[in-house]
A and B are shown apart, each in its own frame.
Chain A
Amino acid sequence: MIEAENLGKAYGAVRALDGVSFSAKPGEILGYLGPNGAGKSTTVKILTGLIHPTEGGATIGGHSIREDPVEAKRLIGLVPESGALYEALTPLEYLRFVGALYELEPKDCDERARGQLAELQLDEKAWNQRLSGLSKGMKQRVVIAAALLHRPRVLLFDEPLNGLDVGGTVKVKEIIAREAARGCTILYCSHLLDVVERVCSRIIILSEGKIQVDGSLSSILARYPGKTLEEVFQELTRGGAMDVDGVDSAEGQI
């Protein structure tokens, strides 16, 4: 469902991504890890068509994000890192606006919007209040609801648990598992390794724009006997690309 082929992105002299290739199948939850500045957000921006790579390309559901951006974007739901919203709108108005952009029928959109907000446990009193007056966690719930509204086939989460309380965190993890079970491909970017360990079926660790390791949690830990994911993460991201037994850095595959 997601195919990234030799992605590279340079900002002037700075190389944010360098030869990143991976694919993710329907139903897969791919944890995309890396320290600050590793290239996670750049990858998400390329996959969502916000920026074009300087090398390589990506497809979503077989549609090139560069050649056929509208059809590729139709399949995507994104929870961006910044949680950007139009804060002058109310949650319901915002979701109706998003629904209209996906050309959902107004009645159907309204039902879905109410259903999503209720599922994400946003207090019904807040549904018609301006977003600017809501807490960060409440806004994050609206962002997640907006990403799920059109029932996407690919979900990209960039630190989705930012600002959420325990109840919200549990609910989002449930939603991720349910969406994956429905056949949705999920790319999950985060710094929270314990969440990634529990939620993701496969993990990619990125450092300095290059894939350091790509595999299931058990296969990665098997290469580093006696180490936790956190320790592996620290080792792989400390000095950029490292030669690790059994890991092909260039291809990023175990």
Chain B
Amino acid sequence: MKKARNPGQLLTLLKVAILVDLRTGSSLPGKMSRNKWAFLWMALFYLFIGLVTGGSLMEAEVTLPVFAAFVYSGIFLFISLNILIEYQEILMSPVDADVLFWRPVPSRTIFVAKLLNLCFYVTLITLALAFFPTVFVMFREGLNPIAGGFLFLCGALLNALSATGLTVVIYAVLLRYVSSERLQDILAYVQVLLFMIVFVGYQMVGPLLEKLVSGEETSFAVFDYVPPGWYAAIPALAETGLTSRVLIPLALGGSFLLVASWIAILRLSPAYLERISSVGTAAGTRAPGETTRRSPLARAFARLFVREPIRRAGFEFFMANLVGDRKIKVALLPIVAMPVAFAIFGWITSGGVDPYDLPPAESEPLTGTRFSSSFSFFLAAYMLCIFLLTLTRAVTASTSWKAAWVFYASPLRHFDRFYVGCLLGVVYGLVLPATAMLFIVMLFVWGDPFHVLLHLGVSSAMGFVVFPAGMLFGEVVPPFSREPNRGGKSLDMMIGFLGMPPLFLVGILHYSLRHNLSGLILLISSLLFLGWGLWLVAKRRFRAGIRVSAAG
């Protein structure tokens, strides 16, 4: 029997995987591919995030390990988030099966090559996120640029690899122990759950940073128990040398990484090929009893709002993809789940505080927990708006992008009508359930339906603005027919972040007008008016754009 790993094969697999990733999105040598653009934007975005985080910490009176632990916490969450929304595809996608899995390459070699491919992106993102904090920490602490900076980056990388290890182990355990037929479904829900945990965790970074900068706290006990806190001991080596205060967290960090690697590589990788292939085969198998018929509610919605036949075809097409393609479900489920997670988070942390019962902001400014809690209720609704901003891009992407063949082989004369049907599917399948669930959670907390309606009215009107606004950017592509590209979802995330400031401004206006009924109604009306104008522009762009694509 041959050895379980082959360094030559490993290097070949890694080299080709990266080459394919960088080239995808362009059929012409020398032309900048879509993936390369996505990487470039992503790197700039993460450099900016690092600049803001590092810059904010420069003001805080904290020790080097606390500075490092804080920066590393942000990196840990960002890496986990990136793997969950995008790079898990490297490990979990069955598309390599026909090209690769029947070649004489051991399962473990392919798994390790994929892991290294993942680590390549993790390293790039980490370097971008840690660049400015490293520069700042060297100035702030007066560290030796080579040893100090190097140790800070090393800590950041090991911390990022821990985040990777933890996520990979979760995926590998699911892959190993859940049946192929159920895996895609279980994966969808676990992924959304992890996404919610990581995202809500990231929301806590802001208030904690505020406490450090204001001097309210100088450190947090939680750093003793989490990997970012352990790896923060590495840059501390430059200041203190190898002491017992540094040795224990280092041992914990090293053990964590070793255990994660041992579970993933030695325990779970031998069955990797067979499991991934089974998932690919089982994904197309409809479970007994699973029906393709629309629910009575969907049929009623279609009868009321989607009567025109081409629009109806678009509606049915979107709903069939949402229900039938588990990967699409995984990609779009956060749109429903995240706002609800925020509302629940706000409810738990506030104990049910109603921000409308709080005195007007000008007479008693809100601070601390009360502010954070009431802010979560607002953020829950605006989160939906952020998703809507990138939804046009999200519904064009598909792992198989097989729909492209259908659309380009037989272009429809009224593609814009078909597209509007798809968008109505988005409204029915995603936006209405998300809003309804938010309504239920908030009604449970506040108990006054009118109150909740008014609260959601402003954010819904804002959604009516951002949805067409999102359609004004990027390519005009029919639904589920865009070739998937590495970095595409990170780009969506960046667009979402860029959309935050204007949404935040509307949110502040919403909050300050919360005791002024006529002001709120005026705000809602203005947003609806603006949204309608943007919708007309977006519709014209899509009508012209998709005709060009179909003709091409």
Q: Which A residues fall within an 8 A CB radius of B?
A: 11-14, 42, 45, 48-52, 68-71, 73-74, 76, 78, 80, 82-86, 88-89, 93, 97-98, 100-103, 130, 132-133
Contact = CB atoms under 8 A, between A and B. Distances in A.
B505 interface: no
A102 B103 contact: yes
A71 B102 contact: no
B178 to A, nearest CB: 14
Given A71-B1, A98-B103, A11 B285 contact: yes
Given A68-B1, A89-B20, 6 more contacts: A11-B281, A12-B288, A73-B105, A98-B103, A100-B12, A103-B8
Central interface residue in A12, A48, A82, A133, by most chain B CB within 10 Å: A12
Interface of B: 1-2, 6, 8-9, 12-13, 16, 19-20, 23-24, 27-29, 95, 97-107, 181, 273-274, 277-278, 281-282, 285, 287-288
Contacts of A11: 181, 281-282, 285
Central interface residue in B19, B99, B105, by most chain A CB within 10 Å: B99
Given A12-B285, A88-B23, A88-B24, A50 B97 contact: yes
Nearest 5 Cβ contacts at the A-B interface? A84-B98, A88-B23, A48-B102, A74-B104, A100-B12
Central interface residue in A14, A51, A130, by most chain B CB within 10 Å: A51
Contacts, number: 96
A52 to B, nearest CB: 6
A51 B8 contact: no
B64 to A, nearest CB: 44
Contacts of A48: 101-102
A70 B181 contact: no
B402 to A, nearest CB: 11
Contacts of A76: 102
A88 B22 CA distance: 9
A51 B274 contact: yes
Nearest to B282: A11
Nearest to A86: B20
Nearest to B95: A84
Contacts of A86: 16, 20, 99
Contacts of A50: 97, 101-102, 273-274, 277, 281
Contacts of B99: 84-86
Contacts of A49: 101-102, 273-274
A30 B100 CA distance: 24
Contacts of B97: 50, 84
Contact of B102 (A73, A88, A103): A73
A73 B103 contact: yes
Nearest to B23: A88
Given A84-B98, A97-B12, A70 B105 contact: yes
Nearest to B1: A68
Nearest to A103: B8
A100 B9 contact: yes
Nearest to B99: A84
Contacts of A103: 6, 8-9
Contacts of A89: 16, 19-20, 23
B287 A78 contact: no
A252 to B, nearest CB: 23
A45 B285 contact: no
A13 B274 CA distance: 20
Contacts of A51: 274, 277-278, 281
Nearest to A68: B1
Given A84-B98, A88-B19, A89-B19, A71 B12 contact: no
A134 to B, nearest CB: 9
12 contacts: A12-B181, A12-B288, A45-B281, A49-B273, A50-B274, A68-B1, A73-B102, A73-B104, A84-B98, A89-B23, A101-B12, A130-B29
A52 B95 CA distance: 18
